[in-house]
A = this chain, B = another copy of it.
Amino acid sequence: MTAPFDFAPLLAPNTPPPAVKWTGFPKYNFIGGHNDPKHLPVDALIEAATTVLRREGATLATYGLNSGPLGYRPLREFLAKKLKGHAGIECTPDEILITSGSMQGLDLVNMLLLARGDTVLIERETYAGALTKLQRLGVNAVGIPLDEEGLSLDAVAAKLDELKKQGVTPKYIYTIPTVQNPTGAIMGEARRAELLKLAAEHGVMIFEDECYSDLVWSGKRPRALYAMAGGEGVIHIGSFSKSIAPALRVGYIVAKWDVLSRMLALKQDAGSGALEQMVLAEFCARHFADHVPKLARTLAGKLQTLREALAEQFGTSAEFGDPPGGIYLWIKLPDNVDTLKLAQAALAAGVALNPGPEWSTDKERARCRLRLCFANPEPETIKQGVAVLAEVCRREFGVPLRSANVEKA
């Protein structure tokens, strides 16, 4: 028996607390970017894996296959075509870097531009993963208010001017312009043009995160900021997680080569998983265009199930919109509800939710807000989960007073 080793004195400063043991998914799982398991195209993925491995499986013997460090070339070729048709982006396969999920895209952009003490502008309500990374980097993330079209440009302009007076140039403006996370807003092209103008005037980069942009119910969307700027001053990231499968860790960065080549130099991981890239490329070339609208129809239906369940169970106590796409709904509860506490109590009852403060730079304003993800649970589970959540909320905070039109004691 060896004596226990005390590693505590060796830990780096500011190490986060240990992770807790995973004990399985909650019964009512309204968190995480999980997808609809019924729409996981298993047969087509098997066919794709078989075809691509038969044809070029032996190339797995070399790092980067025969494609080099930017990632599997046929996947980059698919993306170049898809980005043009979908988002209006004109780029070559050599202006696309495949990453291990869009999370690595966030990391690489941050490594390229950020040092401790730097400032960035960010949507006041935004992706918690982006906020966490910025916090760990010691970066000042300044939240900009949102309206139904996303970033308020008056607020962006005012903040840029204010910072300029302090001698601060923010490194980037991080935005999710197409199906904003968590509000679901889509920024129109006129506002996009103005945002680009503002950023260029101030010498600030735009960091455009389009992880959810495939899932627009109408199938139509404005041109990407990257497209409208001809790529100048914009870094664009995206992902296959939401449109195909989140457990496949495949994302991408689009940038001009002078910017991309610097992120490539920072990507010291010996490449992203090649099998997933190969299978995705083979699958997407044949099936992407058919697969996504079918998935979107199902998700649009689940969103309505969630909205109806909320209306039924929470009545006027829950305020929410009708987002044009995505996998999440942003909800306001009465002011006395503390969603951080609600999340704990709900989890004990089997309901997982994202409390608002984790998804916002304005913790106080977000205290009574929460995010519910609807892509993964079945409609019946959504209904039951919302009923349980209403029950927990009533017990903890006295609201909603009525559920399903029945007054509660």
Query: For the side of the interface on A, what is the size category?
Result: 35 or more
Q: How far is the CA of A194 from the CA of B243 in the complex (A)?
A: 54
Contact status B259-A273, CB under 8 Å = no
Binds B, one of A111-119, A140-148, A313-321, A396-404: A111-119
- Which B residues touch A113, using CB under 8 A? 7, 10-12
Q: Does A34 lie within 8 Å of B62, measured CB to CB?
A: yes
Chain A 241-253 near chain B by CB (<8 Å), digits 1 or 0: 1000111111000
In the bound complex, do residue A269 and residue B101 qualify as a contact, i.e. CB atoms below 8 Å apart? Answer: yes
Known A10-B171, A40-B57, A103-B268; contact A5-B200, beta-carbon cutoff 8 A: yes
Asked if A409 lies at the interface with its beta carbon under 8 angstroms from chain B, I say: no
Q: How far is the CB of A170 from chain B (nearest CB, A)?
A: 9
Bound: A388/B22 CA distance, A: 55
Known: A171-B10, A259-B7. A59 touches B45 (CB 8 A): no
Chain A residues numbered 27-65 whose CB sits less than 8 Å from any CB in chain B: 32-40, 42, 45-46, 49-50, 53-54, 57-65
Q: Mark A67-81, 1 if CB is under 8 A from B, else 0.
A: 011100000000000
Nearest CB in chain B to that of A100: its residue: B100
| A153, CB-defined interface residue at 8 Å | no
Contact A249:B62 (CB < 8 A) given known A45-B57, A49-B46, A57-B45:
no
Q: Which of A212-220, A226-234, A342-350, A354-362 interfaces with chain B?
A: A226-234
Residue from the set A13, A33, A266 with the largest chain B CB neighbour count within 10 Å: A266
> Within 8 Å of chain B (Cβ to Cβ): is A149?
no
* Stretch of A178-186, A274-282, A363-371 on the interface side: A274-282
Contact A265 B61 (CB under 8 A): no
Q: Are A247 and B62 in contact (CB under 8 A)?
A: yes
- B residues less than 8 Å from A10 (CB atoms): 113, 169, 171-172, 203-205
* Contact of A167 with B by CB under 8 A: no
B residues in contact with A57, CB < 8 Å? 40, 42, 45-46
Complexed CA–CA distance, A247 and B172 (Å): 33
Number of copies: 2
B residues in contact with A200, CB < 8 Å:
2-3, 5
Q: Is A132 an interface residue (CB 8 A)?
A: yes
Q: What are the interface flags for A189-220 relative to B under an 8 Å C-beta threshold, 1 for contact and 0 otherwise?
A: 00000000000100111000000000000000
Residues in B with CB closer than 8 Å to A42 are 53-54, 57-58
Asked whether A115 lies within 8 Å of B53 as measured between CB atoms, the reply is no
Q: Are B5 and A34 in contact (CB under 8 A)?
A: no
- Most chain B beta carbons < 10 A, residue from A22, A62, A264: A62
- The answer on a CB contact under 8 Å between B246 and A273 is no
Out of B19, B129, B270, which one reaches A103, CB within 8 Å? B270
A133 proximal to B (CB < 8 A) = yes
Question: Contacts A5-B205, A262-B15 hold; do A268 and B129 have CB atoms under 8 A apart?
Answer: yes
Interface residues of A in 257-302 (CB under 8 A from B): 258-259, 261-262, 264-266, 268-276, 279
Given contacts A10-B113, A10-B205, A265-B19, contact A54 B46 (CB under 8 A): yes
Q: How far is the CB of A64 from chain B (nearest CB, A)?
A: 7
Chain B positions within 8 Å of A274 at CB level: 247-249
Please give 19 more A-B residue pairs, beta carbons under 8 A apart, in addition to A19-B69, A22-B64.
A2-B229, A2-B231, A4-B232, A11-B112, A12-B112, A12-B113, A22-B68, A25-B66, A35-B62, A36-B61, A38-B58, A45-B57, A60-B248, A103-B268, A247-B271, A249-B272, A272-B273, A273-B276, A275-B275
